[in-house]
Structure 1
Amino acid sequence: MEIKPQMVAIPKDTGHLEQGKYGPVFPRTPACYGFTIIARVKPGRAEAVRAHGQTLVKALEEDPYLLAPLKLHYLRWVLFDDDTRFMYQGIFDTDFDKYTEDAVALFTKVGASTVFENLEGFPEDWQSNPEAFVRFVREHHCPSFIEYGEYPYVTSDEIKKALRIKGALSEMLDQLQ
C-alpha cells in the first residue's frame, strides 16, 4: 500500500463548516487537526513562559505519557517580538472541541497550570470554565490556509504501532542471523 503525500487548501470563509460545541469544526487535513494561536505575553512574564516549558519537560521525563490523552503529534512554542508575543502550535488527532476539553481536564486533574496563564486576556477561571478557555483560543487562533502531510491522515497511534512492528521485525531478523 503506497501512501502519497497530500496537501489541501483551507478556505478563509468558515461559515459553511459544521458547528461544534465551541464554533466551527475545522476539517481533518493531511496533517490531522491542529491550531495555532498568537497572543501577547503579559509584561514581564516571558521568563515564566520559558520556565513553564521546563516544568513540562521535567513532568514528561517523570511520566512520558502525561500528554497522551491529547493525541498530540507535535507541539511548538515560540516567543518572538522581543518576548512580547507567544505562538502555540499543536497538531493532534482529535477535533478542536475534544482537544480543548481534554487539555482542560488533564491540566486540572494533575493540578498543573497552563502556559496560557501568562498571556494577556486569558481567563482566570479556565479550569472551571472551558467555554472561556475555548473563547480565548478561538479569538487568538490564526488558521492555516494550506496543510501538507507526507504521511496524510495517519494518526499518532498508527505511527507508534508501525514503529513497534518495525522494531519487532528488526529484532526477529537480528535473531535469524
Structure 2
Amino acid sequence: MCEAAEKDLYAVLGASPSESVKQLRHKYQQLALQCHPDRFRGECSSKAESGLKKFLEVEAAWRILGDQNTRREYDLQRRAQELKQDWPVDSTVYLEDMTWDPDECVYTYSCRCGGGFSVSQEEVEEETQRRQRGDDEETEEGQHRGMVVCCDTCSLSVYVAGYYIERLKS
C-alpha cells in the first residue's frame, strides 16, 4: 500500500473519490481495454512497454479502489496526507514553464483566479545553491525538492520544482 500512497489512484483511473464502485469499474474496464498488452502485439517495443506499464498501473489502482476495505484504507491514508500539508497545493509547476520577467527579476505563473505566483531570481539562486551543496533531499526519481509558492490573490499554492538556473540562464 505504500507505493500506491505516492500516486493518486483516482487520477490513474481518471476518476474522483466521490465516484461509486460501479463508475470506477467502468473507467477501469475502459482503460484496461485501451492499454492491455494484447493490443500492442507487433508494435515497437517502447510503445508496448509503455502500454504494459500503464496497464499494470491501472490494474494496481483498481485492485485497491475496487475493494471496499482497501479503498477505505487508501482514502484514510490520502486524507491524512492532505491534513499534513500546510497549504492547499493546486498543482506542480516547473520553473522552466514559468515566464521570466527581466525587469522585475522574477519568474511568474498565472493562477486560475486571475492572480499570479512569483519566484524571485534570488530565491531560485538560493535554492540552486542549496541543491548544489547537497542540502536538498532527492526524491526517488532524482528530482530535487522545490518550494511551495502562494498566489498573490487567492489561497491556492503551487509547488515549484526544477531549479536548473544554469540551464535557464545560459
Please indicate the TM-score interval, normalised by the length of the shorter structure.
under 0.3
Bigger relative contact order, structure 1 or 2 (CA pairs below 8 A, ≥6 apart): 1
TM-score, normalised via structure 2 length? 0.26
Give the number of the structure whose residues are more often strand, by fraction.
Answer: 1
